[in-house]
Amino acid sequence: MENWLSKRAYLSPDAPAVQYGSQELTFKELQVAVLALAGKLVNVLDGNQRVGLLTRNNLMGYELILALQQLGRQIVLLNSRLADDELAYQISDANLSQVVVDDQLQYQLAVEQLSFTTIKNTQGKTVEPVVEFDNDQVTTIMYTSGTTGKPKGVLQTFGNHFYSAMGSVLNLGLTDQEAWLAVVPIFHISGLSIMMRSLLYGTKVVLVEKFSATDINHLLLDGQATIMSVVPTMLTALQADLSLGQRYPKHFRTFLVGGGPIDRTDLEHAQASGATIVQSYGMTETASQVVALDPKDAVKKIGSVGKPLFPVSLRIKTNDTSVNAVGRVQLKSPTLTAGYLNQTKKYLASFDEGWFDTGDWGYLDSEGYLYIVGREGDMISSGGENVFPDEVEAVYRALPEVDEVVVLGKKNQEWGQVPVAIIRFKAAASLSSEALRAYGRQHLAHYKVPQTFYLDQGTSFPRTASGKLQRYQLAKVLASFDLLP
């Protein structure tokens, strides 16, 4: 397939490509800037096919990703929120010799660091970009979020990104005025996929460095975006920031929600503000979303992530043939990763009769809508029964007094593990442990009800770059929380 940036600059040179603050580039201007950067990079990069990149959401980081693609390099997108030791593991695993680093990020790394300023000040030369992108060629390597342990390097091909973009456009549709707001990290699949789609669709990206509900709402209310990718915590903050009765303009179409379910309150608030909600499910291994919920089904199928997108096949692996039987979520998709870096055996072990096992548990209702009940690594095995924290948390979040709740497994001599909960109440609200247990027994099987409740006073819970809760990290500091009377 012809080089995506070259093709897009040829097809629609004057169309807006990316906006970052007050800067806006057309696709032709973007191509010129990217090739200029590529000409500088060739004078500082060594012969290693892989290059690491540590960047925030900014224009140069955006251009560097595209510049490295023009040179045919594999880009190892490193999470700028990781600690030095975590980065050291990924750098060693990817066998990197150089990492391009945003000037605003400071790390002690046992590898050559090339700052953005160093690259800017390097004498450039004219380069010929790669003429064609091979669908089977690995272009990006991205490490899994590590919600349950050591991250794995996911190999993403041009074909993965292409079919992800095709599935997304068939799901969401497309207008000639499209502008996708990207405040989710471009080093994560949710942000990178927006960039890749832009080249294929010829649509604009509104790139924002960091999330601020007030700033984002200003952009949306000003009509500067038509679609925005969010995680549930972002959606909640955006709705809370709106004034009573305030509505987004008709120009703004959709919030694409990933990283977890939203509750009915957030859904109703978003709909009242004039926005449609598309809940979705995907992972690094699938190059973004592979399942999505049609907005017209949002209320009827609250809690569901929807049906598989057109190129995707889905099944639930379980011995139980009844409707709503919980089993392992398994997929077939052209967006599926080509493998795990240096972990071929682990990759091959992820397949079951040709189906990729996601590691998530879920069920299909009678109409074929997928509901995710939890991640395998988060599952609590209590007396031979499986307890999924997401299910328990959803029940307790329905309480008007509860602001946030996190359910974890705690070792127990009799049952192996029992569920416990860390709970945060809304201002001036409170409930006793006994009241919470009594409520739980009304809505959950007895073994799913947390045995102990801990009080949270406003902790910032550990999350991945995509907003997913890292329960295994929280479990390490459980003793630091006070028991709720």
Last residue within a domain, chosen from 377, 411, 443: 377
Q: Report the C-alpha gap between 480 and 426 in whole angstroms.
A: 21
432 alpha carbon, distance to own chain's centre:
35
Q: How many helices (H) and strands (E) does the chain have?
A: 14, 27
Residue stretches of the chain with pLDDT short of 70: 145-149, 464-467
Q: Which residues contact 199 (CB under 8 A, 6 or more apart)?
A: 4, 5, 7, 8
Backbone angles phi, psi at 200, to 5 degrees: -75, -35
pLDDT at 392: 92
Give the pLDDT score at 474. Answer: 84
- pLDDT tens digits, 391-418: 899 899 999 999 999 999 998 888 888 9
Do 226 and 116 share a structural domain?
no
Sign for the CA dihedral angle at 297, 301, 302, 305 comes to negative
pLDDT of res. 175: 86
Can you give the CATH number for the domain in which 183 is found?
3.40.50.12780
Do 208 and 323 belong to one domain? yes
Which residues span the domain enclosing 35?
Answer: 4-133
Q: Do both 390 and 372 map to the same domain?
A: no
Count: domains in the chain: 3
Same domain for 316 and 185, yes or no, is: yes
* Calpha distance 463→466 (Å, rounded): 8
Residue 225 sits in the same domain as residue 355: yes
Helix 4-11 to helix 189-201 angle (10° resolution) is: 40
The residue written with tokens 């860390």 in the block is 422
pLDDT score at 445: 84
pLDDT at 84: 87
Distance CA 165, CA 144 (A): 20
> In the structure encoding, which two tokens stand for residue 479, read together?
């003793």
E strand intervals along 301-390 = 307-308, 313-317, 327-332, 339-340, 351-352, 355-364, 370-375, 380-382, 385-387
Give the residue from 330, 360, 377 where a domain finishes: 377
Q: Are 346 and 396 part of one and the same domain?
A: no
Residue 88 tokens read as: 């050291």
- Reported as a single tens digit per residue, the pLDDT across 244-278 is 889 999 999 999 999 888 888 889 999 999 999 99
In a domain, 155, yes or no: no
The pairing of strands 355-364 and 204-207 is unpaired
Contact 472, 410 (CB under 8 A): no
Whether 388 and 351 map to the same domain: the answer is: no
* Strand segments (E) across 102-143: 112-115, 138-143
Q: Does residue 386 share a domain with residue 346?
A: no
